[in-house]
């Protein structure tokens, strides 16, 4: 537990270093367009990762109770662990396939790994490029052999984004690159001391909604403990609106898959259009083709819409899980992972495909855009520590250093203070004064 937490709202920039106990050395990497001095969200420092320069990464996650941040680092074929309180690298858990390449020399995202990642207590769950779920024990006693289980989902491509129930006993994970895509519902470990994860059901979407052969996808899920449902972003669905095109140029918008994990048939389940009586099924979305999904206040879900899926979808969507009333947020789009931080009541968006270049988007709990901050190419991953109000945004190394997949802007090198890539650490406008975590 963290003790003696007080929040100082929107303090002046002159007070930030003193309140945080920062040093000039900590702040030195934060220069350039990615570290503006006129925003509420300030760049504090950059954490360098030992090993290969960062060329490719995927999803990230924070466990604020443990003061740890986890990054799916394909460049070093493992999960990087950061101490969020001290803002330092701790270790990398290896055993993943790493970066795979297409014959063209481009990175093969569909077979690279690690990919999705989430955690509860001592257990970390990560998807790999070979369609496997790796179950990792974060207990220090297991440091020598942290991977406790490896489970195949039966696909041939990566196991991507995932979400847990609040008690950590149920996990849903999406094979986004299969055709048609599917999700797997797992019995997870909760607070158990030993690992006994197993697959409960393979979940697909009715072919009238996600037709086979169309190259469609399932993306980031999130859990709402109030409705007791998983909500998963579907970038594009058929007939939304009626007669739309699934082929380029795509004119169909996306959907939101609502799953009741306690009432899913086994070993397979096919979910169709939304049924209000069961509160399950696929909800068509307005002007949104989402990748990301996160739960905010009042059962509101933010979905990371992107014109990378449908060129006409140039806003971000917030939709209520209970009523399905929605609002479109202007001037921010192109997001992959999105994260709600309860510590400052703000959403953070990894808007790598934003208009004008990749951005970190900051939206308040009432769904109003506060600001955007330039990032390096492909900065699609974001997670926040709700106890410390620190926001972590991975940055790739320059293209001159790593080649294909590298940063084609100058933003990353300025943020990182190096040409190796880094994890940028931003401070919210709401500054906590905290003591170190007790374990």
Exposure of 362 in the CB half-sphere (CA atoms within 13 A): 23
Question: What confidence tier does 24 reach under pLDDT thresholds 50, 70, 90?
Answer: very low
Cα-to-chain-centroid distance, residue 407: 20
What per-residue confidence (pLDDT) applies to 384? 98
Q: Residue 26 pLDDT more than 70?
A: no
Listed in sequence order, the residues at least 6 apart from 25 whose beta carbon sits closer than 8 Å to its beta carbon are: none
Question: Which of 77, 50, 94 lies closest to 418, judged by CA?
Answer: 50
Q: Residue 8 pLDDT more than 50?
A: no
Query: Cα dihedral sign for 223, 226, 228, 230?
Result: negative
What per-residue confidence (pLDDT) applies to 302? 98
- DSSP code, position 397: P
Give CA–CA dist 184/131, Å, rounded. Answer: 11
3-state secondary structure of 327: strand
- Give phi and psi for 415, each to the nearest 5: -65, -45
Look-up of token digits 């991953």: 381
What per-residue confidence (pLDDT) applies to 331? 94
Q: Residue 169 pLDDT more than 90?
A: yes
What per-residue confidence (pLDDT) applies to 433? 57
Q: Residue 10 pLDDT more than 70?
A: no
Q: Residue 317 pLDDT more than 50?
A: yes
3-state secondary structure of 7: strand
If you average pLDDT over every residue of the chain, what do you get?
A: 92
Give CA–CA dist 121/315, Å, rounded. Answer: 35
Per the CB < 8 A criterion, the answer to whether 114 and 128 are in contact is yes
What per-residue confidence (pLDDT) applies to 125? 98
pLDDT single digits (tens) 179-195: 999 999 999 999 999 99
> Mean per-residue pLDDT for 152-165?
98
Q: Residue 2 pLDDT more than 70?
A: no
Q: Residue 14 pLDDT more than 50?
A: no
Question: What confidence tier does 12 reach under pLDDT thresholds 50, 70, 90?
Answer: very low
What per-residue confidence (pLDDT) applies to 430? 73
Question: What confidence tier does 320 reach under pLDDT thresholds 50, 70, 90?
Answer: very high
What per-residue confidence (pLDDT) applies to 77? 98
What is the radius of gyration, based on Cα positions, of the chain? Answer: 20
pTM above 0.85, yes or no: yes
> Mean per-residue pLDDT for 109-131?
98
Q: CA distances (Å), 63 to each of 357, 414, 416, in order?
A: 30, 28, 23
What per-residue confidence (pLDDT) applies to 409? 97
Question: Which of 102, 107, 97 lies closest to 127, judged by CA?
Answer: 97
Q: Residue 4 pLDDT more than 90?
A: no
Question: Can you name the residues that pair with 301 across neighbouring β-strands?
Answer: 295, 319
Cα-to-chain-centroid distance, residue 435: 27
> Mean per-residue pLDDT for 297-317?
96
Decide the pairing of beta strands 198-205 and 268-271. parallel
- DSSP code, position 15: G
> Mean per-residue pLDDT for 61-65?
97
> Mean per-residue pLDDT for 192-207?
98
What per-residue confidence (pLDDT) applies to 429? 80
- DSSP code, position 94: -
Domains and CATH numbers, the chain: 47-401 (2.130.10.10)
What per-residue confidence (pLDDT) applies to 432? 67
pLDDT single digits (tens) 236-289: 999 999 999 999 999 999 999 999 999 999 999 999 999 999 999 999 999 999
> Beta-carbon neighbour count of residue 286 at 10 Å?
16
Look-up of token digits 């008690």: 167
Give CA–CA dist 338/352, Å, rounded. Answer: 11
Question: Can you name the residues that pair with 133 across neighbouring β-strands?
Answer: 127, 151
Question: Which of 287, 339, 332, 283 lies closest to 313, judged by CA?
Answer: 287
Q: Residue 157 pLDDT more than 80?
A: yes
Per the CB < 8 A criterion, the answer to whether 230 and 291 are in contact is no
Decide the pairing of beta strands 117-120 and 123-127. antiparallel
What per-residue confidence (pLDDT) applies to 364? 96
Listed in sequence order, the residues at least 6 apart from 416 whose beta carbon sits closer than 8 Å to its beta carbon are: 29, 46, 48, 395, 422, 424
Give CA–CA dist 44/114, Å, rounded. Answer: 27
Strands in 306-402 per DSSP E: 316-320, 326-329, 338-341, 346-351, 359-364, 369-374, 383-385, 390-395
Look-up of token digits 């934060």: 30
Q: Residue 436 pLDDT more than 80?
A: no
Give CA–CA dist 390/88, Å, rounded. Answer: 13
Per the CB < 8 A criterion, the answer to whether 137 and 194 are in contact is no
Per the CB < 8 A criterion, the answer to whether 144 and 100 are in contact is no
Q: Residue 11 pLDDT more than 80?
A: no
> Mean per-residue pLDDT for 118-138?
98
Q: Residue 18 pLDDT more than 80?
A: no
Instruction: Name the least confident of 4-18, 191-205, 327-341, 410-424.
Output: 4-18
Per the CB < 8 A criterion, the answer to whether 101 and 107 are in contact is yes
Question: Percentage of the chain with pLDDT > 90?
Answer: 90
């Amino acid at each position: 537990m963290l003790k003696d937490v007080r929040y100082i709202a929107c303090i002046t920039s002159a007070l930030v270093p003193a309140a945080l106990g920062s040093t000039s050395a900590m702040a030195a990497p934060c220069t350039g367009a990615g570290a503006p001095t006129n925003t509420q969200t300030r760049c504090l420092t950059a954490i360098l990762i030992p090993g290969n320069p960062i060329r490719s990464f995927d999803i990230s996650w924070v466990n604020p109770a443990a003061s740890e941040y986890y990054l799916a680092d394909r460049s070093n074929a493992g999960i990087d662990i950061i101490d969020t309180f001290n803002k330092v690298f701790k270790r990398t858990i290896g055993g993943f396939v790493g970066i795979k390449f297409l014959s063209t020399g481009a990175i093969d995202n569909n077979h690279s790994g690690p990919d999705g990642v989430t955690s509860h207590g001592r257990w970390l769950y990560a998807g790999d490029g070979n369609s496997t779920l790796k179950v990792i024990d974060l207990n220090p006693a297991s440091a020598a052999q942290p991977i406790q289980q490896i489970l195949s989902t039966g696909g041939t491509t990566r196991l991507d984004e995932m979400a847990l129930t609040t008690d950590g006993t149920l996990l849903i994970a999406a094979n986004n690159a299969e055709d048609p895509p599917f999700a797997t519902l797992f019995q997870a470990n909760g607070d158990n001391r030993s690992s006994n994860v197993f697959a409960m059901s393979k979940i697909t979407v009715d072919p009238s909604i996600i037709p086979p052969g169309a190259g469609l996808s399932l993306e980031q899920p999130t859990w709402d403990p109030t409705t007791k449902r998983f909500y998963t972003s579907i970038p594009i669905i058929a007939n939304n609106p009626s007669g739309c095109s699934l082929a380029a140029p795509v004119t169909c918008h996306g959907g939101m898959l609502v799953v009741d994990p306690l009432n899913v048939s086994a070993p397979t389940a096919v979910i169709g259009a939304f049924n209000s009586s069961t509160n399950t099924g696929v909800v068509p979305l307005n002007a949104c083709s989402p990748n990301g999904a996160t739960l905010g206040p009042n059962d509101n879900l933010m979905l990371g819409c992107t014109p990378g899926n449908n060129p006409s979808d140039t806003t971000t969507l917030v939709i209520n899980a209970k009523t399905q009333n929605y609002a479109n947020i202007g001037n921010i789009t192109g997001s992959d992972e999105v994260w709600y931080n309860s510590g400052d009541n703000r959403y953070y968006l990894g808007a790598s495909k934003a208009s004008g270049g990749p951005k970190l988007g900051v939206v308040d709990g009432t769904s109003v855009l506060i600001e955007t901050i330039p990032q390096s190419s492909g900065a699609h991953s974001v997670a926040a520590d709700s106890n410390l109000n620190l926001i972590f945004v991975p940055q790739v190394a320059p293209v001159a250093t790593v080649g294909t997949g590298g940063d084609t802007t100058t933003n990353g090198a300025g943020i990182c203070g190096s040409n190796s890539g880094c994890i940028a650490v931003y401070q919210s406008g709401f500054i906590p004064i905290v003591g170190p975590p007790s374990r």
